[in-house]
Chains A and B, each alone.
Chain A
Amino acid sequence: MVTVTDIWHWLEDVSDPEVPVLSVVDLGVVRSIKLEGDSAEIVITPTYSGCPAMRVIEEDIRAKLADHGISDLTVTTTLSPAWTTDWLSENGRRKLKEYGIAPPEHEVDKSVLFATPTVVPCPLCNSRNTKMVSQFGSTACKAHYQCNDCLEPFDYFKCLK
C-alpha cells in the first residue's frame, strides 16, 4: 500500500534539471502531495516566473511515479504563496555548497541603490573576501560572484523573499 510518505521519498530522487545536485524536495518546489486510492495530486510552484525547468520537473515527476505504478496523477502549478529561498532545505543548502554553488544568505535590500552586496563566502575556500560580478547569473535564480582569495568564479543561489 503506497502512502504519501512513500511519494515524498521517491521525489527525493527527482532532481532539478538545472541544479542536478538538488532534488525537487530540497528545492521546496513540491508544495503538497495528496493520495486518494490510486490517484495522486502533486502541487508544485515555480522558483521564478519564467523558470524553463518547470515543465521538465513535471515530466520527471510523472515518470518517477509511473515507475512506481502510479499513472493517475495530476500535477498542479500554484503561484501563491510565492516561492522563497527560505524553503530550501538544510540538506539542500549543504548539497549546494558541496556542489560549488553558494547557498542564499540574508537578503540584500533591493530598494537601496548601490547597497553593499551581501557577503557570500566562497564555496571552495570559505573566504569571505569575495565580490559580486553580476546580479544575474547562469540561470534566473543565481548571481555571479568571484573569490578574491582563491580567484574561483562561482554561482550564488540568490536570495528571493
Chain B
Amino acid sequence: MNDNLYSYTLRIADDSLILGQRLSEWCGHGPVLEEDIALTNIALDLIGQATTLFEYAASVQNEGKTADDLAFLRYEHDYKNALLVEQPNGDFGQTMVRQWLFDTFRVLFYDALKHSSDTQLAAIAEKSLKETKYHCKHSSEWIIRLGDGTDESHTRTQAALDQLWRYSEELFFMDETDQAMIEAKVGVDLEALRPLWMERIQEVVREATLTIPTNNWKQQGGRLGKHTEHLGFLLADLQYMQRAYPGMEW
C-alpha cells in the first residue's frame, strides 16, 4: 500500500466526517427552520464527501476494509482531522466562525487538489468544490451579518473568533506525508494557500467589523492524532451503534 496516499486521503476524509457530524448535531435545534435545513444540508454534503474519500482510502489501504470500517471502527488517535473541526458547536456564532474559517480553506484546497495527478482525488475535489463554494458563501455572509449586526451578535461572534483563531493555523500544517505527496504531484502545497486564505478572511473581517485576534498562540496536533478532549465525546456518539452492535447493518 502507498502509506502516504492513504494518510493523505484520510486527513481530508476525517475533516469532512467530523465537521459533518458536528453540524448534524444542529438537526432539530437550528435557530430558524431555514438555518436548520441549511446546516443539515451542509452536513450531508460533507458526509457524502467523506464517504467517497473513505472508499478511496480503503481501496488504497487494500486490507479488505470498507468506508464504514474507517469511519466507525478506529480509535481517537487514529483520526487525523484538524482540531478546528472537532470543536463544539457552542452558539450559532461559534458554529459559523468555525465553518467560515474551514470553508474558506476548503475552497482554496479543493481548487488546488482538482489538479492532482491522482485522478480519483482530482475527481473528488472537482465534485466537492462546487458544493463547498455554496457553503463558503453561506458562512461568510453569516459572519458579516452577525459581526455587523447587533451589539449582542457582534460580541458573541468576536468571542468565537478569539476562541477559535488558535486552531486556524493547523489547517496549513504540513509534514513528510505532505512533502511526499507534493513531490508526487498528488498533494497541495498548503503554504502557498495561506496568503490567499488570509486575504479572504481579512476581507470578511473588515466587512463584519470584527478584529483578528493579536494573540498568536497556536494549537495543533490533530493531523498527528493528538486531539482536544472534545473528539472522544463526539466519537462516542458517532460510533455508538457499531460499538454496541458490532457489524450491525440497516
Contact = CB atoms under 8 A, between A and B. Distances in A.
A138 B40 CA distance: 10
Interface string A9-51: 0000000000000000000000000000000000000101111
A54 to B, nearest CB: 9
A140 B144 contact: no
Nearest to A143: B134
A100 interface: no
B33 to A, nearest CB: 9
Given A50-B45, A113-B207, A136 B34 contact: yes
B127 A161 contact: no
Interface residues of A, number: 27
Contacts of B120: 79
A137 interface: yes
Nearest to A80: B123
A60 B118 CA distance: 32
A46, A50, A82, A110: most-surrounded residue (chain B CB, <10 A): A50
A160 B37 contact: no
B235 interface: no
A133 B207 CA distance: 23
Interface in B35-57: 35, 37-38, 41-42, 44-49, 51-52
Contacts of A113: 137, 140-141, 144, 204, 207
A110 B34 contact: no
A110 to B, nearest CB: 4
24 contacts: A49-B48, A49-B51, A50-B45, A50-B47, A50-B48, A50-B49, A80-B127, A82-B123, A82-B126, A82-B130, A83-B127, A84-B130, A110-B133, A110-B134, A111-B133, A113-B144, A113-B204, A114-B141, A133-B34, A134-B35, A135-B134, A137-B37, A144-B34, A160-B130
Leading 10 A-B pairs by shortest Cβ distance = A50-B48, A49-B48, A80-B123, A136-B38, A134-B34, A110-B133, A50-B44, A136-B41, A79-B123, A82-B127
